[in-house]
């Protein structure tokens, strides 16, 4: 009982803070809508094109804005009130989902519509990522930060589990348009909550020369070794491992002979594992020593992703993807908290923007490359090659002793 009480106390610590509790509730609803949208978006494009290449392009177009705009977004996060920036980004995301719902419902949707609106959504993500994560720091402070980030990750990964499952149900019963409409409606509670949150010490505008501000953030990230090493591993993961998500529809059909429901099943399994990892981090994240922890989880992520490609059983692949999701979240949640705790208050938004650039911004490169190569060499070989690169990178970091910087 004392053990369970301690775990419960860890989890509830940030939820006792009213503003975080409200934000957590609104964000949880919005994230489910986002994953419904993401699942339906990939399947819509695959139905329109039947092409792995276009799925790779979708991943690239979705993440290209992060590559282009994440560093300026970090500058804005350190310079302007974060709550107002979040309201703007959520409103734009809501509108693009509504437009896509209307296009699909009327039968007017074309490939360029899907890709163009994906770019708009990616632009809101580029703005939101550093703002949202540094906003959590403002809501809770340093003490409960790891638990708060882990709870946010729990909500994100619960959405990874529920979103694809709900999307599969909606697609089968009412068609793709219902998925995009559901996402548009899911933004409304969060927008209202952001307007209601009261931050007495909300930071005011403190704009400086943009080029000097960006240079200051990049210099800090390079100078602090733990931050530099962590960002390097995140970049490798983004380029060589994360494209498995956009190629999963092809793997579902070509290797397992499945359709939309089987694809949603694999996505949901991956999300369930990620949810388990987030719950683990929320319960024990404050007690974990980060030495070698990121490297361990990166290695296991590579192993399970490779195993999911090699198996011939859909159910076995789902188990392996569940394990991959678990270790992926443990790795990224630990890295996020590590970067925030190592960063100074004045540059936290910019450090998180570099994290966003490494995590999501480099994804277009890996996604495009994987989509093109999969057309010529097959999805299985490309996914296995990415897992091999990840294992080699983790081994290199370990041999060089970089694990001690975590």
- Under a CB-based contact definition with an 8 Å cutoff, are residues 66 and 360 in contact? yes
CB neighbour list of residue 289: distance below 8 Å, 6 or more residues apart = none
Among candidate residues 367, 362, 159, the one with its CA nearest the CA of residue 274: 159
pLDDT over 90 for what percent of the chain?
A: 22
pLDDT at 245: 81
pLDDT, position 367? 77
Percent of the chain with pLDDT over 70: 91
Do 11 and 283 form a contact (C-beta atoms < 8 A)?
Answer: yes
Residues 293-348 pLDDT 10s: 888 899 999 999 999 989 888 899 999 999 999 999 888 888 887 787 777 777 77
Rounded Cα distance between 182 and 184, Å, is: 5
What is the pLDDT, as a whole number, of residue 180?
94
Per-residue model confidence (pLDDT) at position 217: 79
Question: What was the pLDDT predicted at 319?
Answer: 94
**For 229-234, what is the mean pLDDT?**
87
Say if domain 2-405 classifies as CATH 1.20.1250.20.
Answer: yes
Q: Which of 59-73, 80-94, 100-114, 293-307 has the lowest mean pLDDT?
A: 59-73
Q: For the chain, percent helix, then strand, then coil, each to nearest 5?
A: 85, 0, 15
* pLDDT of 213 strictly over 80: no
**Structure-model confidence comparison of residues 114 and 214, the more confident one:** 114
The mean pLDDT of 29-38, rounded to a whole number, is: 92
Reply yes or no on whether the pLDDT at 207 is more than 60. Answer: no
Q: Residue 353 burial (CB < 10 Å; 0-12/13-18/19+)? A: buried
Averaged confidence pLDDT in the chain: 83
Q: What are phi and psi of 224, to 5 degrees?
A: -90, 110
pLDDT of residue 6: 53
pLDDT, tens only, 281-293:
877 766 666 657 8
Report the range of poorest mean pLDDT among 93-107, 169-183, 338-352: 338-352
Please tell me the predicted confidence (pLDDT) of residue 336.
81
Q: Where are the domains of the chain?
A: 2-405
Residue found by looking up tokens 């380029």 in the block: 239
> Residue 5 pLDDT > 60, yes or no?
no
pLDDT confidence tier of residue 7, bands split at 50, 70 and 90 = low
Read off the pLDDT of residues 236-262 as tens digits, 9 standing for 90 and up: 898 888 888 878 888 888 888 788 778
Contacts of 86 (CB under 8 A, 6+ apart): 128, 131, 132, 135, 194
Average pLDDT over residues 224-236: 85
> Alpha-carbon distance 95 to 99, whole Å?
6
Q: Which residue has the higher pLDDT, 2 or 169?
A: 169
pLDDT of residue 201: 64
Separation of alpha carbons 142 and 340, rounded Å: 9
| pLDDT score, position 182 | 94
Of the two residues 45 and 67, the one the predictor is more confident about is 45
Residues 344-393: pLDDT tens digits? 777 778 888 888 888 877 777 787 788 888 888 888 888 899 899 999 98
pLDDT at 52: 74
Burial of 1 (0-12, 13-18, 19+ CB in 10 A): exposed
Residue 405 has pLDDT above 80, yes or no: no
265-282 tens-digit pLDDT: 888 888 888 888 888 887
């Amino acid at each position: 009982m004392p053990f369970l009480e301690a775990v419960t106390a860890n989890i509830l610590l940030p939820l006792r803070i009213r503003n975080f509790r409200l934000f957590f509730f609104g964000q949880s609803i919005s994230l489910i809508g986002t994953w419904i949208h993401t699942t339906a978006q990939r399947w819509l494009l695959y139905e329109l094109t039947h092409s792995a290449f276009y799925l790779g392009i979708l991943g690239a177009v979705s993440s290209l804005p992060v590559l282009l705009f994440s560093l300026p977004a970090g500058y804005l996060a350190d310079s302007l009130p974060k709550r107002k920036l979040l309201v703007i980004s959520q409103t734009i995301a809501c509108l693009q989902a509504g437009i896509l719902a209307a296009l699909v419902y009327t039968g007017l949707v074309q490939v360029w519509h899907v890709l163009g609106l994906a770019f708009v959504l990616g632009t809101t993500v580029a703005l939101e990522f550093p703002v949202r994560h540094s906003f959590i720091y403002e809501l809770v402070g340093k003490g409960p930060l790891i638990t708060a980030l882990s709870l946010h990750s729990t909500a994100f990964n619960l959405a990874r589990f529920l979103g694809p499952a709900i999307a599969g149900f909606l697609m089968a019963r009412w068609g793709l348009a219902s998925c995009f409409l559901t996402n548009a409606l899911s933004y409304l509670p969060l927008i209202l909550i952001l307007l209601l949150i009261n931050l007495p010490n909300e930071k005011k505008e403190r704009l400086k020369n943009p080029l000097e501000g960006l240079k200051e953030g990049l210099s800090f990230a390079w100078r602090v070794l733990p931050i530099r090493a962590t960002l390097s591993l995140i970049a490798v993961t983004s380029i060589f491992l994360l494209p498995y998500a956009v190629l999963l529809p092809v793997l579902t059909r070509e290797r397992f002979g499945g359709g939309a429901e089987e694809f949603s099943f694999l996505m949901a399994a991956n999300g369930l594992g990620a949810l388990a990892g987030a719950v683990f981090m929320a319960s024990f994240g404050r007690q974990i020593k980060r030495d070698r922890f990121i490297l361990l989880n990166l290695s296991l992520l590579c192993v399970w992703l490779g195993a999911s490609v090699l198996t011939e059983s859909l159910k076995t692949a789902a188990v392996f993807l569940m394990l991959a999701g678990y270790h992926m979240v443990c790795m990224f949640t630990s890295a996020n908290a590590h970067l925030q705790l190592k960063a100074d208050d004045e540059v936290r938004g910019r450090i998180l923007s570099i994290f966003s650039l490494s995590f999501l911004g480099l994804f277009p490169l890996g996604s495009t490359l994987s989509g093109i190569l999969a057309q010529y060499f097959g999805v299985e070989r490309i996914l296995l090659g990415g897992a091999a690169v990840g294992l080699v990178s983790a081994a290199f970091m370990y041999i060089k002793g970089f694990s001690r910087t975590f």
